[in-house]
Amino acid sequence: MNFLARVFKYLFWLLIVSWSAALLRRIVVGMLRYAAGATVKQQGPPAAAPPNETPETQVASRRLVRDPVCGIHIAEVLAIPLREGSEVVHFCSAACRDAYVGNTRKMAANG
- Smallest CA-to-CA distance from 35 within 24, 27, 47, 25 is with 27
- The secondary structure of residue 11, as a DSSP letter, is H
Q: Containing H/E element for 103?
A: helix 94-110
What's the pLDDT score for residue 11?
95
What residues does each domain of the chain span?
Answer: 1-46, 55-110
The pLDDT tens digits of the residues spanning 5-60 come to 999 999 999 999 999 999 999 999 888 888 777 655 555 555 555 556 666 555 55
Q: Maximum Cα–Cα distance for the chain, whole Å?
A: 88
pTM above 0.85, yes or no: no
